[in-house]
Amino acid sequence: MTRGRRRMAARAGAAALGVALLVGACGGGDEVDVDNPEGDGATDDPGTGGAEAPEGTLVAAISAQPDQFDPHRTQAYASFQVLENVYDTLVVPDAEGEFQPSLATEWTTSEDGLTWTFTLREGVTFHDGSPFDSADVVYSYRRIIDEQLANAYRFASVADIQAPDAQTVVITLSTPTPALLDNIGGFKGMSIIPEGVAETTDLATAAVGTGPFTLEETGAGGVTLARYDGYWGDPATVDGVEFRFVSEPAAALTALRSGDIHWTDNVPPQEIEGLEDDEDVELGVTPSVDYWYLAMNQTRPPFDNRDFRRGVAYGIDRDEVTEAAWFGAATTNQTAIPEQSVWYHEYAPFEHDPDQAGELIEANAAASPQPMGLMVTDEYPETIQAAQVIQAQLAEVGVEIGIEQEAFATWLDRQAAGDYDAFLLGWLGNLDPFGFYHAQHVCEGTSNFQGYCNPEVDELLNQAAAETDQDARKALYDQAAELIVDDVSYLYLYNPDVVQAWAPDLEGYEIRPDKAINFETVRLPE
Amino acid sequence: MTRYVLRRLLQSVAVLFGVSVLVFAIMQLVPGDPIQLALGQQADPETYAALRERAGLDDPVVVQYFTWIGGALTGDLGVSFRTGETVLSLIMERVPATLSLAGAAILVALLIAIPLGTISALRPRSPVDWFASLSSQAGLSVPDFWLGILLILLFAGTLGWLPSAGYTPLTEDPVEWARHLILPAITAGVSSGSILTRFVRSSVLESMGQDHVRTARAKGMRARDVLTWHVLRNALVPLVTVGGVQLAYLLSGVVVVEFVFAWPGLGQLAFQAVQSRDYPVLQGAVLLFAVIFLVVNLVVDLAYARLDPRITYRSAR
């Protein structure tokens, strides 16, 4: 549930708007006529709430239960699946990862890059009816910073937040931060809540957002959302959304086939092949911004030796690992940023080469054969499968691997304490290259658990973080990425696909690379 | 009798205290830091420290224990690390689901066990007996997980008669409640039913060999009446004990069944609490399980005395 950095990003405003208009134009007339028959189709499902479910409620089965609904506190992907539909941020990324207006309609950056001025949308109301203005933005951001909530680090370079008038917010930075838009709009963890609401409402169980849906009811078995008629954008097409928590994929897929539910993300990669030919199920597969890697503890010999790590990199056949862990539903990559991103840099120096691997390892290992503990967690079963393949591959080049399977809580403990030789894990949902590289690879980075330190990389990453020219910035990140790959700070493996399934005639749903799910423009099958 | 009840209550309090210390100690010893887990990989040291302090994890362990048990005595079980809700409300939210499931499962178990156990006892070593012992062996060996999935695939998938997963509160829609209940109840009831079948069989067998049964038969009483009035009545008294223990077991949450059927019960709550190292929730849940076991055992013992006049607790002095 709480994998590393579970970041979510908002729906593509413009793109979805287009879909909404299109859908509205095509099916508007029908919708009125078949309102009742359509409702019948949805409600004769033996789903929870059955007969009482309002007409036109989309039923989605998600694989885990949200921990809480406070967007500033939760780290769980399951929570963001719900919150995505309830809250808004100042800006949202579109399908290309470019930021578009949401609660802010426009923004300007000062020459020196230190002052950002946002103009806010007018006529927006929160779900409790109160109007939205700049005081709400200041309150939301100050809450994250002052209470040191989980996302406080995103405001590390923020010196001050001011509201000169009701429609304007000015953010002053201590150092230029081109990633600021990603930091405030990359996912719903940076949502805007009404001023003072945390003192009067328990945000863990209730939500007061500006999004297309209101949080109606939360329970142990599911969560219900209702359309918010006062939404500032086009109102949602469905009356509501019911999220059910179904952890067992067989149950979720059966429910989808029999029409109990309309949508699920509970599709293990090994099911993909079978579902492709299934007429009762629409399968959505798209490359994600998720990346998975192996990290070696560079404070321990022989992993502190760059050439040894390079030997390991040559010894791994990424294609085989990807096939085993994801049944092919992933794209191998030797850097972090996936091909589809504008920040992608093609760089792949490590062909699978057992001979070279063996030589490098033999020359640089302290003892032979060199045992290497590889820490994995059952929280992410793909790490276990990948580890088994890597174990077999590295055995051929003289590295003996001991797979250490831990509960995720223990795993994180050991990672934080540096008590490991190597581990496998992934990061999800970065849009800006800052998120892909900075905290993980600068010497003092908060997520640099592998103990990597290269002053040249530090300089490049720090420069890139403050560079405001997009092309110059990309050039800096490309250089840094090459060094990181060459030094094997992380041994990058692959970018997995997002896999979701829905009812064949569900219209208007768009699967997204950042795994954000938004049901605003969805139309139910009849 | 009153003396006995009092003594049992005192014992229960002592057991509960022991359980609470044990649970608390185990949670402290288990590796895995809840705050680390909540923050994931990007734990910024300052945020981490702030959260730890807020959760009271920086206090000495003894202080933490007494804060918790002191609260528990007044009904305050603390606040979940994960959700921020009170543990009591989290538990109460799940009690109806677990009660439904456990009740229905024990009903399924009895519906399997009493007829099957009785018939096989009446015809020992017959094909029926052979079938009963084989099927109870199978029922015990089949993993709940697998049985659950098979039932889902058959009744929800192929036949489409029942929903595959989920829960509807009884108060919301009794029909939907029942429809959702059937498959999980069968899944959970089969293993209990298998245990009880064997128990009923041996109990009935034993009862049939007793003097009063032979006497009744010798008097020329009809076989069916003998069975009803002399055999079953006596044979089923011990069933109260075993059935009670099974019920307590089911009530404390059939974790696997709840997982397969997305059933929002106590077992699922406890499972999630273990995963996220949510100490307050897990401690609260375990304490509740202990209370359930103790209460059920007490009730069973008292009921036993009512059902079987030979048992008296006066001699317990």
Cβ contact A409–B277 (<8 Å): yes
A147 at B interface, C-beta within 8 A: yes
Q: How far is B277 from chain A (nearest CA, A)?
A: 7
Between A6, A52, A247, which is nearest B173 by CB?
A52
Cβ contact A221–B172 (<8 Å): no
Higher-confidence residue of B141 and A171: namely A171
Identify from B46, B83, B155 which residue to disrupt to test chain A contact, counting A C-beta atoms within 10 A and taking the largest count.
B83
Cβ contact A446–B160 (<8 Å): no
Between A247, A257, A410, which is nearest B259 by CB?
A247
Residue A114 pLDDT: 93
Please choose, from the candidates A255, A52, A245, A226, the residue with its C-alpha nearest in 3D space to the C-alpha of residue B176. A52
Residue B45 pLDDT: 72
For the ranges A317-321, A420-424, B40-44, B212-216, the lowest mean pLDDT is seen at B40-44
B201 at A interface, C-beta within 8 A: no
Cβ contact B32–A410 (<8 Å): yes
Residue A429 pLDDT: 66
Residue B278 pLDDT: 86
Can you list the pairs that B203-210 forms with residues at least 24 positions away whose Cβ atoms lie under 8 Å?
B203/B117, B203/B121, B203/B235, B203/B236, B203/B238, B203/B239, B204/B117, B204/B118, B204/B121, B204/B122, B204/B231, B204/B232, B204/B235, B205/B121, B205/B124, B206/B235, B207/B231, B207/B232, B207/B234, B207/B235, B208/B121, B208/B122, B210/B234
Cβ contact B40–A2 (<8 Å): yes
Listed in sequence order, the residues at least 6 apart from A50 whose beta carbon sits closer than 8 Å to its beta carbon are A43, B168, B173, B175, B176
How much of chain B, in percent, has pLDDT values that exceed 90? Answer: 9
> At residue A122, what is the residue type?
E
Q: What is the pLDDT of residues B66-123, one digit of tens each?
A: 888 888 888 888 888 888 788 998 899 888 899 899 999 999 999 999 889 888 888 8
Q: How far is B194 from chain A (nearest CA, A)?
A: 25
Residue B317 pLDDT: 42
Q: Categorize the per-residue pLDDT at B314 as very low, low, confident or very high, splitting at 50, 70 and 90.
A: low
A439 at B interface, C-beta within 8 A: yes
Give the number of other Cβ atoms within 10 Å of residue B316's Cβ. Answer: 10
Cβ contact A70–B33 (<8 Å): no
Which residues of chain A have a CB within 8 Å of the CB of B44?
152-153, 446
Phi (first) and psi of residue B36, to 5 degrees: -55, -45
Structure tokens at A180: 């600021």
pLDDT < 70 regions, chain A = 1-55, 367-370, 429
A266 at B interface, C-beta within 8 A: no
Report d(CA B310, CA B317) in Å as an integer: 17
Q: Categorize the per-residue pLDDT at B41 as very low, low, confident or very high, splitting at 50, 70 and 90.
A: low
For the ranges A29-33, B135-139, B268-272, the lowest mean pLDDT is seen at A29-33
Residue A13 pLDDT: 31
Please choose, from the candidates B310, B269, B278, B266, the residue with its C-alpha nearest in 3D space to the C-alpha of residue B55. B278
Residue A55 pLDDT: 55
Q: State whether residue A299 is helix, strand or coil.
A: coil
Q: Which residues 449-468 of chain A have a CB within 8 Å of chain B?
A: 449
What average pLDDT score do residues B225-253 get? 79
Between B31, B37, B167, which is nearest A221 by CB?
B167
